[in-house]
Copies of this chain bind each other. A is one copy, B any other.
Amino acid sequence: MKNGMELALCEARNAAERGEVPVGAVVLGPDGTVLAQGGNRVEELQDPSAHAEMLVMREALAVRGGQRLADCTLVVTLEPCPMCAAALAHFRVGRVLFGAYDPKGGGVEHGPRLPFRAEALHRPEIIGGVREQEAAGLLKTFFQSLRTREEAENPHP
């Protein structure tokens, strides 16, 4: 069986093929069962909140019922942004494994570091940097090819 990060990376690659920023996520139940897996769908759904984490957390609850993921692990290829980092507390996610660190847009280990704030309602166990190179590599390749395409379409004289 593929592990969670392997699946999340696969979902990130699928997202890139759909023209989405390549971020993928998986929710694993307490026994390691995959409850939900998916990628970023911001462009497809024309919904700026359709980050991979939001989609899979919602789907995992739809599968299981209830309103908490306290015995679950969210695996995601990129450090969650502040929106998703705050949602982790609403969903009471037990554990978060993420791939690449995001110094500019992250909200877990960077920026507001929401789970570590005194007023945080809930703090998941957090492990960052899992298969960091691969996760970061996907994003780097995606944005490089985006820039190349933009430069080809808008050449400077």
Contacts and interface: CB of A to CB of B under 8 A. Distances in A.
Interface of A: 42, 46-49, 54, 57-58, 61-62, 65-68, 81-83, 85-87, 90-92, 104-105, 107, 111-112, 114, 117, 119, 121
A86 B91 contact: no
A114 B91 CA distance: 20
Residue among A85, A87, A107 having the largest count of chain B Cβ atoms under 10 Å: A87
Nearest to A119: B111
Number of copies of this protein chain within its complex: 2
Given A117-B111, A119-B104, A62 B86 contact: no
Contact of A49 (B47, B58, B81, B104): B58
A48 B87 contact: yes
Tell me which of A47, A83, A111 has the highest count of chain B C-beta atoms within 10 A of its own C-beta.
A83
Nearest to A110: B119
The 8 closest A-B pairs by CB, nearest first: A83-B86, A82-B86, A48-B90, A112-B112, A83-B87, A48-B91, A111-B119, A49-B87
B58 A47 contact: yes
Nearest to A83: B86
Nearest to A113: B112
A65 B45 CA distance: 10
Given A46-B61, A46-B66, A111-B119, 12 more contacts: A42-B67, A47-B58, A47-B61, A48-B61, A48-B90, A48-B91, A81-B86, A82-B85, A82-B114, A86-B86, A86-B107, A112-B114
